[in-house]
C-alpha cells in the first residue's frame, strides 16, 4: 500500500499536541522583554558587576563574555596605525533581503537573503567585507567573489583575516588581503550530535569560537585557536579581554583607563544634551571612555544636523558603536525605538575622532520607512 509524502508527514506531526502554553508566564516574559528594550537605567546598590555585550566586528552573533572589573591591568600602548577601513552599511533592505551595500564610496550588489531576524551574516576586515549567501563571498568594493563553497557565519578581525567554520566542521582562517587560506583546524567535537560551533572573533592571530548545545541546548563553552601554534585551549573572559586590549583599536570603558574593560564595539552612547555619554547596555549605568591606545579620556560631542528621531520611545535614543575605521576614528549609528510599533530604527551614521571627541554626520538617515542595517545589528523587529 502506498502513502503520500503529506500523509506520512501528517501521521507524525499531527500526533503532537494539544499545546497548553502558560499564559501568565508568556505575559510575564513579554513584559520583562519590553522593559529590557527600553534600555532603562537600573539603580544598582552594592558592588556593581559590569556586563558589556561586545558586538563582534561585522559579526552577527553577540559574544556573551561577561567582563568583570578585576583590578588594575597593564595596557600596552600601540602607536602603529591600522589601515583605514571603508564605512559599511546598507540602505537597500526589504523583506529580509539586502540588495546592495555601501563599502566606502562604492555600492556593491550582494543580493543577500537574510535567513533570520538575528544578526547580519557579515564580517569586516581591513580589506573588505565577507558575507554569507549560501556560500561565503568577499568584496573589497568591487565585484564579489566566492571564497568558500560552504561556510557558516563569518567573523572579521582588526586585520585582514576572516574566519568561519565550514560544513566539514573545520575552522578556517582566510586572509582577505591576499586571498589565501591561512589555517585550517578540524574540530570534530563540533560535529557531535546536539552541539554546534560558531566563530566569535579574530584577535591578532587568535580565533575565539563557541561550542554550544548539550541536552538542554543552553550550555556554552568558549575556546581559542592559536594560528601560530595550532593549539585550541579553553578560553576565559579575561583572556579575550586581554587579547582585545593588546591587538584591536577601540575604547576602554570604566572608572579609569587602567582598571577599565577593553572592547572594540558594542557600547551604547546615551544622548545627554550635546554629549554622547558611554553607557553600559545592560545596566544603563553611565561610565567613562578612554582611548585604548593612548589612555586619554574620550568625550564625544553630538554633531550638528542630526535627524530628530521619529516618535521615539522615551529614553530609547542613543548611538551604537559599530565599526572602528582606524585607530582614531569610530563609526556610530543612531538607534531608537519608534513608539508607534516598537520597531528598532537605525538613523544617522556619524564618525568620531577619539583624539578630540569631535563627530560629524557621515550618512544622514533615510526616509522614515527605509530600513538601514549596519554590521552587527539585527534586522528590525
Partner 1 sequence: MAKRSQDQISAFADLVEARSTAMLRLAYAVVGDYQLAQDLLQESLVKVYVAWPRLRDGAAAEAYVRRTIVTTAISWRRRRSFHESPVDAVPEENGTDDSDRLATHDALWDHVRGLPPRQRTASVLRYYEDLSEVETADLMGCSTGTVKSQVSAALGKLRERVGPHSGVLFPDDQAVTR
Site of interaction with partner 1 (CB under 8 A): 1-14, 16-21, 23, 25-27, 29-31, 33-35, 37-38, 40, 95-97, 113-118, 134, 152-153, 165-169, 190-191, 193, 195-198, 212-213, 217, 340-343, 381
Smallest separation, CB 200 to partner 1 (Å): 12
Residue closer to partner 1 (CB basis): 172 or 241: 172
Cβ distance 155 to 136 under 8 Å?
A: no
Cβ distance 278 to 3 under 8 Å?
A: no
Residue closer to partner 1 (CB basis): 121 or 327: 121
Residue closer to partner 1 (CB basis): 228 or 341: 341
Q: Is 29 exposed, middle or buried (0-12, 13-18, 19+ CB in 10 A)?
A: exposed
Smallest separation, CB 31 to partner 1 (Å): 6
Residue closer to partner 1 (CB basis): 31 or 181: 31
Question: What DSSP character marks residue 188?
Answer: G
The dihedrals phi and psi of 271, each to the nearest 5 degrees, come to -85, 115
Smallest separation, CB 220 to partner 1 (Å): 12
Cell 568561519, residue? 164
Residue closer to partner 1 (CB basis): 259 or 378: 378
Smallest separation, CB 166 to partner 1 (Å): 7
Q: Is the bond preceding residue 276 a cis peptide, omega within 30 degrees?
A: no
Smallest separation, CB 56 to partner 1 (Å): 14
Smallest separation, CB 280 to partner 1 (Å): 19
Distance in Å from the first CA to the final CA of the chain: 48
Buried b (16+ CB within 10 A) or exposed e, 297-315: ebebebbeebeebeebbee
Smallest separation, CB 34 to partner 1 (Å): 6
Residue closer to partner 1 (CB basis): 1 or 234: 1
With residue 46 as reference, give the H or E element that holds it.
none
Cβ distance 275 to 46 under 8 Å?
A: no
Smallest separation, CB 328 to partner 1 (Å): 36
d(CA 217, CA 97): 29
Specify the length of the chain in residues: 381
d(CA 275, CA 254): 17
Smallest separation, CB 196 to partner 1 (Å): 4
Residue closer to partner 1 (CB basis): 11 or 285: 11
d(CA 62, CA 60): 7
Cβ distance 183 to 227 under 8 Å?
A: yes
Residue closer to partner 1 (CB basis): 44 or 167: 167
Smallest separation, CB 15 to partner 1 (Å): 9
60: its cell numbers: 552577527
344: its cell numbers: 528598532
Residue closer to partner 1 (CB basis): 366 or 380: 380
Cell 568594493, residue? 141
Residue closer to partner 1 (CB basis): 134 or 146: 134
The dihedrals phi and psi of 115, each to the nearest 5 degrees, come to -85, -20
**H-only helix segments in 111-264:** 237-247
Cβ distance 332 to 320 under 8 Å?
A: yes
Amino acid at each position: 500500500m502506498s502513502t503520500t509524502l503529506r500523509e506520512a508527514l501528517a501521521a507524525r506531526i499531527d500526533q503532537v499536541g494539544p499545546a497548553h502554553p502558560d499564559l501568565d508566564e508568556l505575559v510575564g516574559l513579554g513584559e520583562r522583554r519590553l522593559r529590557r528594550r527600553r534600555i532603562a537605567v537600573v539603580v544598582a546598590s552594592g558592588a556593581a558587576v559590569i556586563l558589556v555585550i561586545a558586538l563582534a566586528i561585522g559579526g552577527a552573533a553577540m559574544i556573551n563574555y561577561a567582563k568583570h572589573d578585576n583590578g588594575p591591568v597593564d595596557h600596552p600602548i600601540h602607536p602603529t596605525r591600522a589601515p583605514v577601513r571603508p564605512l559599511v552599511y546598507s540602505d537597500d533592505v526589504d523583506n529580509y533581503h539586502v540588495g546592495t551595500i555601501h563599502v566606502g564610496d562604492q555600492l556593491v550588489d550582494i543580493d543577500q537573503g537574510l535567513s533570520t531576524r538575528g544578526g547580519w551574516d557579515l564580517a569586516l576586515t581591513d580589506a573588505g567585507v565577507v558575507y554569507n549567501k549560501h556560500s561565503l563571498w568577499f568584496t573589497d568594493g568591487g565585484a564579489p567573489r566566492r571564497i568558500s563553497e560552504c561556510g557558516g557565519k563569518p567573523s572579521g578581525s582588526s586585520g585582514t583575516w576572516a574566519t568561519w567554520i565550514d560544513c566539514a566542521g573545520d575552522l578556517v582562517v582566510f586572509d582577505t588581503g591576499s586571498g589565501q587560506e591561512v589555517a585550517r583546524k578540524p574540530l570534530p567535537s563540533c560535529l557531535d550530535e546536539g552541539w554546534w560551533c560558531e566563530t566569535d572573533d579574530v584577535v591578532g592571530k587568535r580565533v575565539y569560537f563557541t561550542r554550544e548545545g548539550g541536552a538542554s541546548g543552553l550550555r556554552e563553552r568558549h575556546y581559542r585557536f592559536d594560528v601560530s601554534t595550532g593549539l585550541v585551549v579553553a578560553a576565559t573572559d579575561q583572556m579575550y579581554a586581554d587579547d582585545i586590549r593588546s591587538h584591536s583599536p577601540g575604547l576602554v570603558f570604566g572608572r579609569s583607563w587602567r582598571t577599565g574593560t577593553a572592547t572594540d564595539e558594542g557600547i551604547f552612547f546615551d544622548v545627554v544634551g550635546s554629549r554622547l555619554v558611554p553607557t553600559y547596555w545592560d545596566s544603563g549605568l553611565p561610565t567613562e571612555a578612554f582611548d585604548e591606545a593612548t589612555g586619554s579620556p574620550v568625550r564625544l560631542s553630538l554633531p550638528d544636523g542630526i535627524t530628530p528621531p521619529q516618535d521615539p520611545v522615551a529614553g530609547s535614543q542613543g548611538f551604537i558603536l559599530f565599526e572602528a575605521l582606524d585607530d582614531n576614528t569610530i563609526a556610530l549609528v543612531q538607534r531608537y525605538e519608534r513608539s508607534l510599533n516598537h520597531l528598532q530604527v537605525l538613523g544617522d551614521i556619524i564618525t568620531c575622532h577619539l583624539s578630540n571627541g569631535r563627530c560629524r554626520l557621515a550618512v544622514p538617515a533615510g526616509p522614515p520607512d527605509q530600513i538601514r542595517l549596519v554590521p552587527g545589528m539585527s534586522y528590525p523587529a
